[in-house]
Amino acid sequence: MMIRTVLTIIFILVSVALAAVVLLQEGKSAGLGAISGAADTYWGKNKGRSMEGTLVKITRFLGIAFIVLAAVLNISKF
């Protein structure tokens, strides 16, 4: 019963963090500068190292953690 409480708290924290990280990301319309050739800038070439690239990686990690925790908490009900 104690492990379920701990997992539930972690699940809530992951959920809040995931929502915050998604809200911090830029919209897709911000990338429309690539049409005019703006993708050749420093930030376009190093997107994986930029803040936006970091947010994408964090979102991916938190999304996986969210799904795994949801599955574990659902299985433990039975």
Q: Tell me if residue 9 falls in helix, strand or coil.
A: helix
For 14, the domain range is 1-22+43-78
pLDDT in tens, 14-66: 999 999 999 998 776 655 555 555 555 555 555 556 888 899 999 999 999 99
Residue at 2 is within a domain: yes
pLDDT of residue 16: 97
Instruction: State which amino acid sits at residue 58.
Output: I
Cβ-contact 58, 21 below 8 angstroms: yes
Domain count for the chain: 1
pLDDT exceeds 70 at position 10: yes
Residue at 12 is within a domain: yes
Residue at 64 is within a domain: yes
Residue at 75 is within a domain: yes
Q: Which two tokens stand for residue 17?
A: 């963090």
pTM here is 0.70
pLDDT exceeds 80 at position 71: yes
- Helical (H) or strand (E) element with 51: helix 51-75
Rg (CA), the chain: 17
Neighbour tally for 31: CB within 10 Å: 14
Residue at 38 is within a domain: no
Residue at 49 is within a domain: yes
